């Protein structure tokens, strides 16, 4: 069996995020603290235009962020379509720990964050603004996403949500997920990432799952919850992720061919796996043996 602790996260930028999480996990710290600290790395990264600050705006020029977090006790918190706060994962955790609620959205989420002492600031960077203005020339909205290194036009706008799952030395599981959503989306659009059960789910008896890709198809199938429930029935993490991908293929074959969705999961033993619709999905793994492993996810459309 794999050695605990272990942390896994989506995409190649998961490596840097995992390393940050490891500074907590490696010292015997709590998985919840590790996943929050970990995903803050891509949230702060100015070269990352799909998470946190510097995220591409919606079609009206607003940077609106989505995030959620879930701990080993089944506590969870979430923010959606939140503007002006650079670290939505911090706010999601505050919603979880300091309010009787699970989810705050829009201006209410921003207001709560400011009341908690977080800074209200402009998140749109000059680079993101430039790309948005370029996009406005054609206004073509084609959600072809998450195919890393793809030459497909439009794709450069649309990849990388970070979903992270960790098991700490005590065997407790937590997860976090954060994104700016699909670039140039409709104002007010919310994807799967801040929705508990869709973009992220953790059950400390079984394991955790997270997703990346076109959130609409993940929401329809309550993807991450499905993956965890399949693991409860005995599926391996990879087999559970594959079955969740197959739901999308079966229900919407024409859509499925054109988009990317990837699931990533870990079980209580620390075994992990992933599966995606398309080639190009990768995930990062960090444990005491190796801190910077990048694994290619298996995929359906060959
Ligand atoms: C969304 N799932 O908003 C997110 C986007 C994403 O990689 O994963 N991008 O639908």
Report pLDDT for 149: 40
Report pLDDT for 37: 98
205-241 residue pLDDT tens: 999 999 999 999 999 999 999 999 999 999 999 999 9
Phi, psi torsion values for 298, nearest 5 degrees: -70, 160
**pLDDT greater than 70 at residue 152:** no
Report pLDDT for 155: 44
Number of neighbouring beta carbons within 10 Å of residue 122: 10
DSSP state of 259: S
Question: What span, in angstroms and rounded, lies between the C-alpha atoms of 112 and 151?
Answer: 41
Report pLDDT for 148: 43
Percent of the chain with pLDDT over 70: 94
Single out the residue of 153, 136, 148, 143 nearest to residue 57, CA to CA.
Answer: 136
**Residue range 136-140: average pLDDT?**
90
Q: Which helix (H) or strand (E) holds 282?
A: strand 282-287
**pLDDT greater than 80 at residue 157:** no
- In sign, the C-alpha dihedral spanning 261, 231, 242, 296 is positive
**pLDDT greater than 50 at residue 147:** no
Which protein residue's CA is at the shortest distance from atom 3 of ligand 1?
181
Q: Is 161 a catalytic residue?
A: yes
Look at strands 272-276 and 65-70 and give their pairing: unpaired
- Which ligand 1 atom sits nearest the alpha carbon of residue 185? 3
Mutating to test ligand 1, I would choose from 14, 49, 158, 179 the residue with most ligand atoms within 8 A of its C-beta, which is 179
Report pLDDT for 143: 57
Q: For residues 181 and 66, is the Cβ–Cβ distance under 8 A?
A: yes
Ligand 1 in reach of 161 Cβ (< 6 A): yes
**pLDDT greater than 60 at residue 158:** no
Report pLDDT for 160: 77
Report pLDDT for 142: 67
Q: Taking the CA atoms of the chain, what radius of gyration do you get in angstroms?
A: 17
Q: Which residue has the higher pLDDT, 181 or 140?
A: 181
Residue appearing with tokens 């394991």 = 207
**pLDDT greater than 50 at residue 63:** yes
Lookup: tokens for 202: 């953790």
Question: What span, in angstroms and rounded, lies between the C-alpha atoms of 294 and 291?
Answer: 10
**pLDDT greater than 50 at residue 156:** no
């Amino acid at each position: 069996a794999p050695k605990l602790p272990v942390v896994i996260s989506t995409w190649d930028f998961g490596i840097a995020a995992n390393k940050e999480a490891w500074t907590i996990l490696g010292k015997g710290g709590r998985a919840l603290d590790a996943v929050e600290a970990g995903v803050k790395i891509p949230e702060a990264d100015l070269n990352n235009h799909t998470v946190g600050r510097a995220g591409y705006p919606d079609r009206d020029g607003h940077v609106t962020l989505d995030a959620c977090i879930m701990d080993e006790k089944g506590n969870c918190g979430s923010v959606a379509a939140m503007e002006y706060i650079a670290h939505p994962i911090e706010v999601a955790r505050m919603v979880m720990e300091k309010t009787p609620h699970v989810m705050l959205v829009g201006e209410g989420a921003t207001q709560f964050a400011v009341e908690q002492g977080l800074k209200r600031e402009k998140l749109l960077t000059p680079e993101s603004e430039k790309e948005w203005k370029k996009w406005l020339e054609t206004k073509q909205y084609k959600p072809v996403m998450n195919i890393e290194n793809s030459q497909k036009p439009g794709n450069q706008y649309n990849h990388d949500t970070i979903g992270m799952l960790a098991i700490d030395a005590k065997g407790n599981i937590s997860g976090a997920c954060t994104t700016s959503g699909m670039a140039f989306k409709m104002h007010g659009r919310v994807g799967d990432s801040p929705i508990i059960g869709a973009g992220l789910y953790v059950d400390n008896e079984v394991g955790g799952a997270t997703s990346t890709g076109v959130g609409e198809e993940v929401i329809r199938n309550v993807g991450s919850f499905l993956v965890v429930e399949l693991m409860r029935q005995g599926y391996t993490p990879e087999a559970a992720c594959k079955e969740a991908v197959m739901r999308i293929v079966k229900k919407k074959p024409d859509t499925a061919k054109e988009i990317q969705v990837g699931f990533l999961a870990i079980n209580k033993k620390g075994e992990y796996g992933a599966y995606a619709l398309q080639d190009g999905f990768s995930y990062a793994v960090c444990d005491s043996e190796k801190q910077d492993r990048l694994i290619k996810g298996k995929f359906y459309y060959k």
